[in-house]
């Protein structure tokens, strides 16, 4: 139940955005968490901060026409939701996936505001993408799609305006084509207008690894507060993309044993521990399905049409997509003895799952905090681009580690300050919101 103080804001969001369940879900959670913040800051209430923050500053929806290899015309829909620029230029990834619609882009853009605030850096919140499905498309088709997408989006971007990056379905290959088209149209080699670029042409070291590495650093911080560590822990990871691969990689490095990976067809469980080299070969190079991992690895088996939460583990790191871990998955994890759930993806746990985990005393690291290492390293990429510098891998990883500790501590402290000790959901939302709200008040009603 939402506290009465924020209920009218949620009712208005529901009335105004009736067909946007993911956006409503994200708003509901944040409003719930910030009710105690509003109580303690009457100026946020009189300044209408909550009413204003739930409405994007700008939304762009556009046609993306392109021609496939068979010569057939295709039309996709493109989105960019520029949610808040109060702390810096709009910042957030692009998602290419057939499920993409306005609700999904708005929930992601909304979450991004508070995540980015929590990093302590000068970046606003945005998200974009398309209902384009890159699976099974040739390189030439991907390139033509990206070029058409940028033919429209370029006019809304810029290093001081809006700086996209990757997300589901948008990795190094797509970023290359998107950046190249922007450069061609504008006649500007404007490095800071995109992050996640190749390290040979303005990309930052560690940006590729940052989200997965950051989530595991966050897990380490949470476990340390609880008197534990990653040493010897069995870890279930979902997904087998950018976030999952590097979460698995860092889990190994910090002494844990990651035993699962998945995609939308099912999951693999490997009792010898996931072989990162083989996983990268299968997913990044061969662009094959996760079942192929089990074909090539004797200690692994593929479980079709299921999710990895039925495997008994100490730590779960959902790193695929929204609402991929529901109440029954949470019950299975609890029955298997899970100690911590750390969200590598955005909003992977349903509200029912979070409630069940909380009731069982499981440590829970929400995506807004736990996966903030990706965008935080994007901000480091922007700094390097602005200064025409290139920092080393070790230096950049050390910076990421400090940022994740600060993100953890900000969320932990805010949870204590607002009377919910140990509740990182309240802590992350409250801490991010405080920063955004103060800036909005200072900058007037705009
Ligand atoms: P990738 O495209 O690299 O990988 C996505 C993975 O998730 C794939 O294994 C994909 O499998 C799986 N997946 C996608 N949709 C579904 C679905 N509906 N059901 C089951 N599995 C699915 O994306 P990323 O690793 O970059 O992103 C993963 C998550 O992390 C997303 O929630 C994203 O928003 C979040 N995130 C990403 C950041 C980044 O820097 N990249 C930063 C912070 C958060 P399949 O191929 O079968 O679709
Ligand atoms: O959800 C996210 O934080 C991202 N996809 C990364 C955004 C970014 O701008 O690096």
Q: What is the percent of the chain where pLDDT is above 70? A: 100
Considering the chain, what is the average pLDDT of its residues?
98
Mutation test residue for ligand 1: of 241, 307, 345, the one with most atoms within 8 Å of CB: 241
Mean pLDDT calculated for residue range 275-287 = 96
Single out the residue of 443, 446, 419, 424 nearest to residue 114, CA to CA.
424
Confidence tier at 1 by pLDDT (50, 70, 90) = confident
- Is the pLDDT confidence value at 282 over 90? yes
Ligand located closest to 287 CA: 1
Closest ligand 2 atom to 164 CA = 9
The verdict on the CB of residue 375 being under 6 Å from ligand 2 is yes
Q: Which fold has domain 58-189?
A: Rossmann fold (3.40.50)
Closest ligand 1 atom to 99 CA = 18
The pTM is what? 0.98
Ligand located closest to 194 CA: 2
- Domain pair 58-189 / 210-365, same fold: yes
Q: What are phi and psi of 430, to 5 degrees?
A: -65, -45
Instruction: Please state the domain extents for the chain.
Output: 58-189, 210-365
Q: Is 106 a catalytic residue?
A: no
pLDDT at 63: 98
Mean pLDDT calculated for residue range 214-230 = 98
pLDDT at 242: 98
Q: What is the pLDDT of residues 382-434, one digit of tens each?
A: 999 999 999 999 999 999 999 999 999 999 999 999 999 999 999 999 999 99
How far is C-alpha 183 from the geometric centre of its chain's CA atoms? 26
Q: What is the pLDDT of residues 89-98, one digit of tens each?
A: 999 999 999 9
Closest ligand 1 atom to 240 CA = 9
Mean pLDDT calculated for residue range 325-350 = 98
Confidence tier at 124 by pLDDT (50, 70, 90) = very high
- Is the pLDDT confidence value at 180 over 90? yes
Please check whether residue 341 is in contact with residue 365, taking contact to mean a CB–CB distance below 8 angstroms.
yes
- Is the pLDDT confidence value at 300 over 90? yes
Mutation test residue for ligand 2: of 87, 119, 166, the one with most atoms within 8 Å of CB: 166
Mean pLDDT calculated for residue range 101-130 = 98
- Separation of alpha carbons 54 and 23, rounded Å: 10
- Separation of alpha carbons 365 and 99, rounded Å: 25
CA of 442 to the centre of ligand 1 (A): 37
Q: Which of 91, 127, 197, 250 is catalytic?
A: 127
pLDDT at 73: 98
Mean pLDDT calculated for residue range 225-236 = 98
- Is the pLDDT confidence value at 43 over 90? yes
- Separation of alpha carbons 92 and 113, rounded Å: 9
pLDDT at 5: 93
CA of 168 to the centre of ligand 1 (A): 4
- Is the pLDDT confidence value at 313 over 90? yes
Q: What is the percent of the chain where pLDDT is above 90? A: 100
- Separation of alpha carbons 115 and 431, rounded Å: 10
The verdict on the CB of residue 92 being under 6 Å from ligand 2 is yes
Single out the residue of 95, 94, 90 nearest to residue 125, CA to CA.
90
pLDDT at 386: 98
Mutation test residue for ligand 2: of 108, 163, 165, the one with most atoms within 8 Å of CB: 165
HEC readout, the chain: CCCCCCHHHHHHHHHHCCCCHHHHHHHHHHHHHHHHHHHHCHHHHHCCHHHHHCCCCEEEEEEEEEECCCCCEEEEEEEEEEEECCCCCEEEEEEECCCCCHHHHHHHHHHHHHHHHHCCCCCCEEEEEECCCCCCCCHHHHHHHHHHHHHHHHHHCECCCEEEECECCECHHHHHHHHHHHHHHHCCCCHHHCCCCCHHHCCCCCHHHHHHHHHHHHHHHHHHHCCCCCCCCEEEECCCCHHHHHHHHHHHHCCCEECEEEECCEEEEECCCCCHHHHHHHHHHCCCCCHHHHHHCCCEEEEECCCHHHCCCCEEECCCCCCCECHHHHHHHHHCCCCEEECCCCCCECHHHHHHHHHCCCEEECHHHHCHHHHHHHHHHHHHHHHCCCCCHHHHHHHHHHHHHHHHHHHHHHHHHCCCCCCHHHHHHHHHHHHHHHHHHHCCCC
Ligand located closest to 164 CA: 2
pLDDT at 323: 98
Sign of CA dihedral 101, 102, 103, 108: positive
Q: Which CATH superfamily is domain 210-365 in?
A: NAD(P)-binding Rossmann-like Domain (3.40.50.720)
Confidence tier at 127 by pLDDT (50, 70, 90) = very high
- Separation of alpha carbons 249 and 274, rounded Å: 9
């Amino acid at each position: 139940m939402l506290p009465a103080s924020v209920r009218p804001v949620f009712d208005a969001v529901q009335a105004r955005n009736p067909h946007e369940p993911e956006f409503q879900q994200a708003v509901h959670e944040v409003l719930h968490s910030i009710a105690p913040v509003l109580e303690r800051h009457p100026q946020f209430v009189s300044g209408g901060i909550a009413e204003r923050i739930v409405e994007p500053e700008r939304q762009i929806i556009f046609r993306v026409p392109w021609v496939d290899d068979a010569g057939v015309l295709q039309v996709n829909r493109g989105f960019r939701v520029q949610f808040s620029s109060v702390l810096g230029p709009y910042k957030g990834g692009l998602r290419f996936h057939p499920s993409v619609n306005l609700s999904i882009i708005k929930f992601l853009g909304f979450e991004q505001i508070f995540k980015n605030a929590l990093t302590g850096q000068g970046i606003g919140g945005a998200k974009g993408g398309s209902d384009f499905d890159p699976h099974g498309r040739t390189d030439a088709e991907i390139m033509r799609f990206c070029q058409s997408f940028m033919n429209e989006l370029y006019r809304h971007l810029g290093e001081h305006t809006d700086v996209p990056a990757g997300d589901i379905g948008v990795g190094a290959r797509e970023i290359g084509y998107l950046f190249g088209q922007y450069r061609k149209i504008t006649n500007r080699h404007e490095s800071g207008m995109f992050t996640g670029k190749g390290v040979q042409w303005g990309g930052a070291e560690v940006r590729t690894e940052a989200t997965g590495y950051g989530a595991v650093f966050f897990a380490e911080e949470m476990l340390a507060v609880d008197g534990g560590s990653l040493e010897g822990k069995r870890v279930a990871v979902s997904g087998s993309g950018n976030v999952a691969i590097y979460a698995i990689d860092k889990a190994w490095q910090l002494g844990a044993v990651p035993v699962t990976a998945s995609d939308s067809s099912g999951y693999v469980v490997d009792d010898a521990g996931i072989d990162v080299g083989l996983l990268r070969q299968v997913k990044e190079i061969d662009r094959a399905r996760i079942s192929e991992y089990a074909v090539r690895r004797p200690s692994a088996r593929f479980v079709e049409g299921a999710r990895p939460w039925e495997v008994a583990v100490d730590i779960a790191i959902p790193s695929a997509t929204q609402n991929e871990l529901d109440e029954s998955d949470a019950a299975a994890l609890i029955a298997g003895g899970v100690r911590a759930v750390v969200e590598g993806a955005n909003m992977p746990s349903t509200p029912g799952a979070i409630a069940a985990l909380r009731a069982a005393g499981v440590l829970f690291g929400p995506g807004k905090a736990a996966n903030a290492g990706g965008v935080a390293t994007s901000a480091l990429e922007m700094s390097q681009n602005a200064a025409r510098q290139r920092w080393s891998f070790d230096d950049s990883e050390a910076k990421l580690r400090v940022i994740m500790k600060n993100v953890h501590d900000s969320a932990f402290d805010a949870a204590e300050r607002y009377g919910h000790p140990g509740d990182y959901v309240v802590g992350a939302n409250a801490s991010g919101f405080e920063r955004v709200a103060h800036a909005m008040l200072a900058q007037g009603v705009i």
